[in-house]
Amino acid sequence: MTRELLKRCDSKCELCASESKLASYELPDSKGYGDARIMICDTCTGQIQDRSTIDMNHWRCLNDSMWSQVPAVQVMAYRMLKQLNEEAWARDLLDMLYLDDDMLAWGEAGIEEVDEDFIPHKDSNGAILEAGDNVVIIKDLNVKGTTFTAKRGTTVRGISLTNNPEHIEGRVSGTRIVILTCFVKKVPAGEE
Taking only the tens of pLDDT, the chain with its 192 residues reads 678 888 899 999 999 999 989 999 999 888 888 889 999 999 999 999 888 888 888 999 999 999 999 999 999 999 999 988 888 899 999 999 999 999 899 988 877 655 556 688 999 998 989 888 999 999 999 988 888 899 999 999 999 998 899 999 999 988 899 999 999 999 987 665
Shared domain for 6 and 101, answered yes or no, is yes
Kindly report the pTM of this predicted structure. 0.59
Q: Are residues 98 and 156 in the same domain?
A: no
Q: Are residues 11 and 59 in the same domain?
A: yes
Helices (H), the chain: 2-9, 42-49, 62-65, 71-83, 88-96, 101-109
- Residue-level pLDDT at 189: 73
Same domain, 79 and 153: no
Same domain, 89 and 12: yes
The span from the CA of 11 to the CA of 157, in Å, is 41
Are both 36 and 86 inside the same structural domain?
A: yes
- Of 88, 92, 72, nearest in space to 5 by CA: 72
- C-alpha triplet 102, 104, 109: angle, nearest 5°: 95
Structural domain containing residue 139: 121-186
| Predicted local distance difference test score (pLDDT) of residue 144 | 85
Assess whether 43 and 133 both reside in one domain.
no
**Residue 192: what pLDDT?**
58
Q: Is 114 part of any domain?
A: no
- Domain boundary, last residue among 69, 88, 109: 109
Amino acid 92: pLDDT: 93
Which of 109, 134, 165 finishes a domain?
109
Residues 9 and 40 in one domain: yes
Number of C-beta neighbours around residue 56 at 10 A: 13
78 assigned to some structural domain: yes
Q: How far apart are CA 173 and CA 189, in angstroms?
A: 23
CB 15 within 8 A of CB 81: no
Residues 30 and 76 in one domain: yes
Q: Quote the Cα angle for 103-105-108, to 5°.
A: 110
Q: Are residues 142 and 172 in the same domain?
A: yes
